[in-house]
């Protein structure tokens, strides 16, 4: 009797779980699906008052109340059409994002790895306080530094340059890079290096030949998190990027309030193209996501 009831209860719980998960997944993933659909619509189909979501051949589309639309590549080809009055297209902004994202990621991971190695393997005066200081910079609201950084950049001609944003993003990602890499390097047994040192390796050789190969996964995970942060950043890119180093988020924001209306298919195509690498990377490091989001304090 009691066994039967508990079986029923389990069944009910299972149903409830299914409903919660399916409901949430539906709500959370529909916008992404809709984004992909929007990228292959004609502009008029994106602002239709009856939602159009069934791709169809021309003949099947009937009237304003139809839910069908004829797929077109116009949104995608729009990505290499320049904005009026500016020689730049989406692809130019994408190039800017790529240069800034990749360069700042390489710099942050390299610097972060070396620094983490130092904190992991050497006794450094006030080491714990320095690590604490590094972590605390991550919590600094950008608004507290944006005015001085802008004035510094304007004085030195760094506004509107790729270098300016590369430097800034490198520094902003440093705290995460150091903390994540320290966790990974701490996990590499000290004995590996020590035996290498006994074999006559110098510290530098040991770092490059022993530590780096072992820390490869950690560096890849760290790189993904740094790249995502640099790739998605908007506020500083808007203020410091000027006309010369404007990144893709700035391009998107510029379409807001566009006097000829927002070109939704182009926006959607650009968004799909822009976020696809992020999604791929996120899938690749999915087992380390938690670690990355909590500065290495929690390992998933």
Partner 1 sequence: MTTAAAPGGGGRSGSGGWGAAAVVAPALILLIAFNVFPLFYNLILSFTSAELGVEGWTWVGTRNYQRVFERPEYSAALRTTALFVFLAVVCELALGFVLALALHRRFAGKTALLTALLIPMMLPPAVMGLYANLLYDGDYGLLNQIISGFGVAPPQWRTDPAWKLTAVLIVDVWMWTPFMLLISLAALGSVPRHLYEAAEVDRASAWMVFRRITIPLCAPLLALAALLRTTDALKQFDIVMAITGPNDQATQTVSALLYQGLFADGKVGRGSAYACVVLVLVIALATVCTRYLDWLARRQGRGA
Partner 2 sequence: MSTFSSLCRPALRCLAGIAAVAGLAAGDSKPLTIWWAQWAPADGLQQLSEDFTKSTGIAVKVHQIPWSSYQDQVFLAFGNKTTEFDIVVGDSQWIGRGATKGLYLNLTSWLPGAVDLKAQNPQVLRYLCEYPGGSGNYWAAPCESDAVGFSYRADWFADPAEKSAFKAKFNRDLAPPATWAEFKDVAVFFHRPEQKRFGCALLTGRGYDSLVMGFQQLLWAWGGSWGDPATFKVTGKLDSPQAAAALGFFKELMAFGPAGATNLDYGKSLEAFTNGSTAMAMNYFAFAPGIAKQMGDKAGFFVMPTQDGRRTISLGGQGLSISAKVPVERQEQAKKFIAWFLTEPVQRQWITKDAGFTANTAILKSEAFRKAAPYNAAFADSLDSLQDFWNVPVYNELLAAAQKRLGEALDGVKTPAAALTELAKEHQDILTDAGLAK
Tell me which residues in 234-263 interact with partner 1 (CB under 8 A): 234-235, 239, 248-249, 252-253, 255-256, 262
Residue with tokens 């029923």: 8
Identify the residue among 136, 156, 195, 243 touching partner 1 (CB under 8 A): 136
What gap in Å lies between CA 291 and CA 300, rounded to an integer? 6
Tokens encoding 130: 């320095």
Task: Confirm or reject binding of residue 93 to partner 1 (CB under 8 A).
Answer: no
Task: Confirm or reject binding of residue 299 to partner 1 (CB under 8 A).
Answer: yes
The closest of 224, 116, 214 to 174, measured between CA atoms, is 116
Tokens encoding 78: 């729009």
Q: How far is the CB of 109 from partner 1 (least distance, A)?
A: 12
Task: Confirm or reject binding of residue 125 to partner 1 (CB under 8 A).
Answer: yes
Show contacts with partner 1 in window 202-231 (CB under 8 A).
Answer: 203, 228, 231
Task: Confirm or reject binding of residue 145 to partner 1 (CB under 8 A).
Answer: yes
Question: What one-character-per-residue DSSP string does 211-225 give?
Answer: IHHHTHHHHHHHHHH
Identify the residue among 175, 218, 241, 246 touching partner 1 (CB under 8 A): 175
Q: Based on CB atoms, which residue is closest to partner 1, 59 or 129?
A: 129
Task: Confirm or reject binding of residue 176 to partner 1 (CB under 8 A).
Answer: no
How many Cβ atoms are within 10 Å of 201's Cβ, its own excluded? 16
Residues that bind partner 2 (CB under 8 A): 47, 49, 83-86, 150-152, 154-161, 163-164, 167, 238-239, 242-244, 253-261
Identify the residue among 94, 100, 158, 168 touching partner 1 (CB under 8 A): 168
Task: Confirm or reject binding of residue 200 to partner 1 (CB under 8 A).
Answer: no
Task: Confirm or reject binding of residue 99 to partner 1 (CB under 8 A).
Answer: no
Identify the residue among 35, 42, 70, 106 touching partner 1 (CB under 8 A): 35
What gap in Å lies between CA 114 and CA 212, rounded to an integer? 10
> Phi, psi at residue 133, to the nearest 5°?
-60, -45
Identify the residue among 12, 36, 73, 151 touching partner 1 (CB under 8 A): 151
Residue with tokens 């182009």: 266
What gap in Å lies between CA 178 and CA 22, rounded to an integer? 38
The closest of 181, 174, 193 to 113, measured between CA atoms, is 181
Task: Confirm or reject binding of residue 29 to partner 1 (CB under 8 A).
Answer: yes
Q: Based on CB atoms, which residue is closest to partner 1, 74 or 150?
A: 150
65 neighbors 134 (Cβ within 8 angstroms): no
Q: Based on CB atoms, which residue is closest to partner 1, 16 or 60?
A: 16
How many Cβ atoms are within 10 Å of 144's Cβ, its own excluded? 9
Binding window for partner 1 (CB under 8 A); candidates: 74-82, 157-165, 175-183, 209-217:
175-183
> Phi, psi at residue 15, to the nearest 5°?
-60, -45
What gap in Å lies between CA 72 and CA 287, rounded to an integer? 37
Q: Based on CB atoms, which residue is closest to partner 2, 262 or 282?
A: 262
Helix 162-186 with 216-232: angle, nearest 10 deg? 150
Task: Confirm or reject binding of residue 10 to partner 1 (CB under 8 A).
Answer: no
**Binding at 189: pick from partner 1, partner 2, none (beta carbon under 5-8 Å per type):** none
Q: Output the CA–CA distances (angstroms, integers) from residue 30 to 33, 41, 267, in the order listed.
A: 5, 16, 17
Q: How far is the CB of 222 from partner 1 (least distance, A)?
A: 13
């Amino acid at each position: 009797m009691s066994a039967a009831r508990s079986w029923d209860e389990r069944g009910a719980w299972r149903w409830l779980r299914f409903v919660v998960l399916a409901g949430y997944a539906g709500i959370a993933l529909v916008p992404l699906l809709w984004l992909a659909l929007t990228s292959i619509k004609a502009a008029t189909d994106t602002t239709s008052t009856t939602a159009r979501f069934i791709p169809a051949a021309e003949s099947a589309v009937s009237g304003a109340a139809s839910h069908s639309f004829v797929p077109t590549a116009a949104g995608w080809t729009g990505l290499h059409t320049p904005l009026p009055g500016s020689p730049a297209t989406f692809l130019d902004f994408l190039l800017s994002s790529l240069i800034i994202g990749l360069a700042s990621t390489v710099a942050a991971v390299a610097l972060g790895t070396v620094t983490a190695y130092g904190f992991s393997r050497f006794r450094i005066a006030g080491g714990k306080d320095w690590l604490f200081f590094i972590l605390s910079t991550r919590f600094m609201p950008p608004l507290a530094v944006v005015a001085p950084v802008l004035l510094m950049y304007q004085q030195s001609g760094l506004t509107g340059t790729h270098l300016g944003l590369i430097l800034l993003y490198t520094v902003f990602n440093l705290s995460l890079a150091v903390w994540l890499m320290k966790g990974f390097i701490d996990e590499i047994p000290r004995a590996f290096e020590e035996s290498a040192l006994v074999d006559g390796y110098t510290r530098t050789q040991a770092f490059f030949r022993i530590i780096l190969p072992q820390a490869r996964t950690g560096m890849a995970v760290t790189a993904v998190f740094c790249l995502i942060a640099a790739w998605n950043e908007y506020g500083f890119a808007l203020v410091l990027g000027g006309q010369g180093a404007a990144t893709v988020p700035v391009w998107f924001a510029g379409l807001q309030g566009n006097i000829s209306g927002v070109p939704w298919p182009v926006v959607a195509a650009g968004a799909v193209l822009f976020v696809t690498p992020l999604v791929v990377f996120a899938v690749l490091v999915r087992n380390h996501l938690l670690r990355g989001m909590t500065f290495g304090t929690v390992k998933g």
